Amino acid sequence: MDVNALTVDVWSDVACPWCFIGKRRLDAAVARFAHPGDVVVRYHSFQLDPSLPARSGDSERDRLMKKMGTGADAVDQMMAHVAGVGAEVGIAFAFDRVVVANTRPAHELLQLAGEHGVGPAVNEALMQAHFADGLDIGDQAVLGGIGQGAGIPGADVAEALADHRFGPAVDADIAEAARLGIHAVPFYVLGGRYGLSGAQPEEVFVEALETTWREAQAST
C-alpha cells in the first residue's frame, strides 16, 4: 500500500441498512475529495446478530418487531424512513423482499474479497443483493455469483466458503471492534486516528477526509 495513502477502515454488517447508506455517502465524499486516488477503504466484519440461523423463516418486518419489541406500525414507519433516506443516495430498499439470514458466510466472502483488492465492490454487491434484490446472502450460489462478478475466480470463492479459512479473520475483526469500543455500526476510522460513528452526512465525511489528509501531510 502507498505510504501516502489515507486509509479508511470501516466496520459494518452487510445486513445493516445504515451501513449501506453510509457506504454511498462515503463513496460520494471520496469522489469529491481532492486526492481520491490516495484513499484506501478497507471493510471489516461486524455482525449485528450472530445468533441468527443460517436461514430464518421470518420476514424482515417480523424480525425487527421481535428485536425492537414493538408493533408493526412502528417498524413500518422506521422502514419507510430508512427507505426515504436511502432513495436520496440511489438505494431502492425493498424490505418486503429481504431474506433474513446469518451474515457470517457473507463476511467470509468479504474477507476473501479484501485479499483480492475488491472489498468495496463486494460489500456494495452484498448489500444490494440483500436489501434491493431479495437474494439470500447466506446461499453459496449467490455468494459465488457476487464473488465472480467482482473478478474473484469461482473456484477460489467455493473453496474459501467450504473450508471457512476466513473464519478467524472475521473473528479478528469483531474482536478488534470490541477492543476499540465499537458497539454499533457503521463505524469509520480515518488514518488510524479519527473515528466516526454512524452514516454521517456526505459533508462530514468530506471534512474528515480533508482534515486527516492535512494532518498526515504535515507530520511527514
Element at 189 (helix H, strand E): strand 187-190
pLDDT at 219: 80
C-alpha cell at 34: 481532492
pLDDT at 216: 87
Set out the domains of the chain in order of their start, with CATH numbers. 6-18+25-55+99-218 (3.40.30.10)
Judged against a pLDDT cut of 80, whether residue 213 lies above it is answered with yes
Judged against a pLDDT cut of 80, whether residue 220 lies above it is answered with no
pLDDT at 1: 47
Residue-wise pLDDT tens digits, 38-49: 999 999 999 999
- 51-55, 115-119, 125-129, 180-184: which range is least confident on average? 51-55
CA distance 112 to 27: 21
The CA-atom distances, in angstroms, between 197 and each of 10, 182, 200, 204, 208 are: 10, 9, 7, 11, 12
Q: How confident is the model at residue 3 (pLDDT cuts 50, 70, 90)?
A: low
pTM: 0.95
pLDDT at 2: 56
C-alpha cell at 146: 457476487
Placement of cell 465524499 in the chain: 29
Q: What is the 3-state secondary structure (H, E, C) of 32-90?
A: HCCCHHHEEEEEEECCCCCCCCCCCCCCHHHHHHHHHCCCHHHHHHHHHHHHHHHHHCC
Segment 177-194 shows an average pLDDT of 96
